[in-house]
Amino acid sequence: METNQAVIQESRPTKHIKSLREYIDALSTLGEIQQVEKEVDWNLEIGAITRRVYETGSPAPLFNNIKGHPKGFRVLGAPAATSRQERLYLARVALSLGLDPHATGQAMVEVLAAARTRKGIPPKRVKTGPCKENIKLGDDVDLLQFPTPLIHHGDAGRYFNTWGAMIVQSPDKKWTNWSISRMMLLDKNRMTGIVDEHQHLGMIHKMWSDEGKPTPFALAQGCEPFVPFVCGMPLPAFVSEGEYAGAYFGEPLEVVKCETSDLEVPASAEIVVEGTISHNEKALEGPMGEYAGYLWAGTAEHQPVLNVTAITYRNQPILPVVAAGEPVEEDHTCCGITGAAEILLSLREKGIPATMVWSPVATACHWWVVTVPIDYRKTMNCTKEDLCRQIGRLMLEAKLGPQIPKVMVIHDDIDPTNLQELVWGFATRCRPGEGEVILHHTPIYPLIAFTTKSEKVTHDGTKSVYNCLGPEDWGNKLPERSSFRFAYPDDLQKRVLANWKSYGFAR
Ligand SMILES: Cc1cc2nc3c(=O)[nH]c(=O)nc-3n(C[C@H](O)[C@H](O)[C@H](O)COP(=O)(O)O)c2cc1C
Ligand SMILES: [Mn+2]
């Protein structure tokens, strides 16, 4: 029986959704938005509701009435979470990526990877945009006018940024970086948040600090839905996310100039906060419930203070919020899917015949699956164990490498986006004793849940690559799979599917 060789289904997006409001309308049509008219409290209630939305696959809540704030100041929870609706599991991601709501995970990864091979298209400056409807400068700046939630019990403060674009530019202006990094309110015109030296935000902040200067930043909230995805994508250093986004859609993204700096922000933004990241003032930041699914009580670190010089916003602004934690939330959909595309591209560039890379969203980005053809020896003549070791080593060289703690290498008859099939493949093909290739002394990201206190400091850790290719003596063949898809003739499968409802099954 033929195996399900991966097919490149899509190389370009089909519909570019150009604002958060257009995105909300598209989601509403699919039954993926819940308007919440009842008054809710920013103090934990929005966080609790959003958390339960993730855990039940409910529609994204749009909170229209928030205690202590004028009506119209809104919050959107779970902007790119998964859905419990049949065939719409990844619809929020698909629409954000400009794809059909039923697009497969495979199609998403391929379309993101394909755009990386095209030349960047820089954003285009336009005169103005809705984010300039209200402009607050100097003493009028008041971050507290927005209904920023206290998301989790135990968070160090109210996190204003969980899904917005932190925009900074290298001092030579050649590299404009857009990324997501959490930012917590300190008071009406100050924030603090993670400025990690291994991330591009921290790299660029270091360039400015080395010149003895603060780093100009702009934080753009509620942009068109692709923006947060490109912000979470582990593109290499010196690649501007805005240019990649242009290449992705085949047209430039529109940007407007900030009021108090030369930075440019997506014109579609709902709220823009402008200011500088201090090179000498720090404040305590964290803890906060994190993507691995835990909150590390008692941990706080000194991070730079962000001083705000201007806030501009659209009338009736919408602040998107991610309540990080147990799967499935946006850290998993956004970083998992964009990261898979980046890794797929880099493995292929290095000669690995990878057909698909995927981080199952239920694993909080702790498992990364690479599929290879059953006859991979046509292009790489090596043992299964060697193949796994090479894949593991190459994956760790990517920017994302430290964030990849466990890799599974499995044949591409398995669809890694189907958790049940993947778990079965892992259970039946990974051999005790020889199926785990250990890579010692590799860089590890301290937010990986199971790192020790000392690994969090040294960033020196251990990774596993699971060889799920079966024993060597299976050779270049798999045993026949006993399943509907593999154990019955094609014409019979088609007939059964066509007759399914007439047998009496509802679905
Ligand atoms: C919802 C969400 C929250 C995130 N929060 C942080 C964060 O607080 N700190 C951080 O370093 N990365 C965070 N990330 C991951 C980064 O956005 C990601 O690693 C990205 O590649 C960083 O941008 P860069 O590649 O330009 O450095 C978050 C991602 C998402 C999707
Ligand atoms: Mn970057």
Q: Give tens-digit pLDDT for 290-347.
A: 999 999 999 999 999 999 999 999 999 999 999 999 999 999 999 999 999 999 999 9
Instruction: Indicate whether 48 pLDDT > 50.
Output: yes
**How high is the pLDDT of residue 350?**
96
Mean pLDDT within 33-56: 98
Q: Which atom of ligand 1 is nearest to the CA of 322?
A: 1
Ligand nearest to the CA of 233: 1
Q: How far is the CA of 234 from the centre of ligand 2 (A)?
A: 6
For the chain, counts of helices (H) and of strands (E): 14, 21
Mutate to test the pocket of ligand 1, among 155, 199, 221, 456 (most ligand atoms within 8 A of CB): 199
Q: Give tens-digit pLDDT for 166-197.
A: 999 999 999 999 999 999 999 999 999 999 99
**How high is the pLDDT of residue 39?**
98
Which residues of the chain does CATH 3.40.1670.10 include?
350-485
**How high is the pLDDT of residue 11?**
80
Mutate to test the pocket of ligand 1, among 169, 175, 181 (most ligand atoms within 8 A of CB): 181
Measure the CA–CA gap between 301 and 284, rounded to whole angstroms.
5
Closest CA to 391 of 427, 433, 439: 439
- The enclosing H or E element of 208 equals helix 200-210
Which residues of the chain does CATH 2.30.110.10 include?
124-321
**How high is the pLDDT of residue 9?**
38
| Nearest CA residue ID for atom 31, ligand 1 | 331
Token pair recorded at residue 254: 């529109």
The CATH code for residues 350-485 is 3.40.1670.10
**How high is the pLDDT of residue 426?**
98
Q: Is the peptide bond before 328 cis (omega within 30 degrees of 0)?
A: yes
Measure the CA–CA gap between 141 and 155, rounded to whole angstroms.
24
**How high is the pLDDT of residue 397?**
87
Q: Give tens-digit pLDDT for 185-236.
A: 999 999 999 999 999 999 999 999 999 999 999 999 999 999 999 999 999 9
Q: How far is the CA of 482 from the centre of ligand 1 (A)?
A: 42
- Looking at every residue in the chain, the average pLDDT score rounds to 96
Q: How far is the CA of 338 from the centre of ligand 2 (A)?
A: 12
Mean pLDDT within 456-462: 95
Contact 220, 167 (CB under 8 A): yes
Q: Could you say which DSSP state residue 150 is in?
A: B
Q: Which atom of ligand 1 is nearest to the CA of 163?
A: 1
Q: Which atom of ligand 1 is nearest to the CA of 334?
A: 31
| Nearest CA residue ID for atom 24, ligand 1 | 200
Instruction: Indicate whether 6 pLDDT > 80.
Output: no
- For residue 196 and ligand 1, the question of a CB distance below 6 A is answered with yes
What order of strands is seen across the sheet that includes strand 60-63?
Answer: 33-36, 60-63, 74-77, 318-321
Q: What is 124-321's CATH topology?
A: Pnp Oxidase; Chain A (2.30.110)
Task: Tell me the sheet residues that pair with 266.
Answer: 255
**How high is the pLDDT of residue 5?**
34
Closest CA to 285 of 161, 457, 139, 145: 161
Token pair recorded at residue 134: 């209200």
Instruction: Indicate whether 10 pLDDT > 70.
Output: no
Q: Give tens-digit pLDDT for 406-439.
A: 999 999 999 999 999 999 999 999 999 999 999 9
Tell me the pLDDT band of 157, cut-offs 50, 70 and 90.
very high
| Nearest CA residue ID for atom 22, ligand 1 | 179
